[in-house]
Chain A
Amino acid sequence: MARQLDYLLSEHFSDSVGFILPPAALRLVLGKSVGVQDLTKAIRRGEVSTKVLRSFVSRLASEFKAGEHLRGDLALAALTVAVESHRTKFADEFIKSLANLHVAELPVCTRIARECLKYRKTLPKDLIRINRYPHKTPVIRLSRPIRVRAINIAELNMRSGHVVRSVGKTIEVGCRFERTTRRRFRSGNAWKMKITRQQRELI
């Protein structure tokens, strides 16, 4: 199993999260935790596959004992937050299935799943994700010489189709979405990072 998933079951992770706050606040704590952030990156980079995630969930679910808190309750909650913004079949199934459970033995992950579902960004029905990108674009393509650190680009797993634009002190990097009538940049699905004034001037 991936070390990022193993870590979610560790005492260290549990202690770093601290007391189990109400779901809305706990979601924020989990989102800020190093364990969840590492896992999110690992999933995005493909280091942790869906197969591994499914087997992790399956293993934890098999430890269920009636009348007892599930051992992996917090780990499942952390995984929910980690995949909250992922638009994959696994993320969809996992969050929705947990959110629909009302089982006393899984109090934390089910509440967090219901919370994540509220925040999970869904595309409006008149928006579709497209895989080809328009040639004429009001925002700057990655092929232009912008001085974003290479490590950031690697972390963001950007491809040539991705686009960037400057918004105040941050640049937004993301996929393009197309509305049936007009194109628009959907910043909700963009990653954001700080750049210096010098870097901004180059854009």
Chain B
Amino acid sequence: MKELGNLLLLDDSARSIVLQTRLGRSVKNFIDPPPRADQVWKYRRLRDKHPLWEERVPATGGYNCVGLVWASRRTGIFDEDQIQLVFGDDGFRLVDISSERLFPGDLVAYWTSSPPRHFIHVGLIMEFRSIAGLPGQSVPWVLSKMDATSGEVAHGLRDVDFGLEFVVEYWTERPRHKQE
């Protein structure tokens, strides 16, 4: 398509690093460029809609939510099949919160609620905070990066807005014997 002009002549300029699952299978990843000024402003506008969010790192590029959780902030993982690959190869299992308690370090994954199921977001449970007015009840507090150009924020489990109906799943690689 000639309208894309010189873009068609560019070599593959997407940067990536060597990243593998526990079973040694390669994980496709991309290091996106740093955010432009208008992307930083957009992030700030969206962040300000959530007054309870606590910012750990301001807007930054290079990695996304999946990269934060599974690649130590070195790169971003975007493809759904790659995310499924990590879930499988790294020995993650679903946590049934009716019979098992969650721990800091467990993962919270957000998926679209209507079929076909698509991955939306993942975050790391940092701690549990009590809910005002409800003694004995607590909510997971999650560390995540909303997209590849946003900052890292700590937020309540459901204090997120993806523009889609979503369901939450808890995942862990802990062995089952830690059940309570």
Contact = CB atoms under 8 A, between A and B. Distances in A.
Interface of A: 11, 14-25, 28-29, 32-33, 54-55, 57-58, 61-62, 64, 66-69, 71, 93-94, 97-98, 101-107, 111
A104 B80 contact: no
B39 A69 contact: yes
Of listed B35, B38, B42, B150, residue having the most chain A CB within 10 A: B42
B79 A25 contact: no
A29 B121 CA distance: 14
Nearest to B4: A61
A61 B7 contact: yes
A104 B12 CA distance: 8
B5 A105 contact: no
Interface residues of B, number: 43
Interface of B: 1, 3-8, 10, 12-15, 30-33, 35-36, 38-39, 42, 45-46, 64, 66, 78-80, 83, 112, 118-121, 146-150, 161-164
A15 to B, nearest CB: 6
Contacts of B6: 61, 64
Contacts of A19: 46, 146-147, 150, 162
A58 B162 contact: no
A57 B3 contact: yes
A105 B33 contact: yes
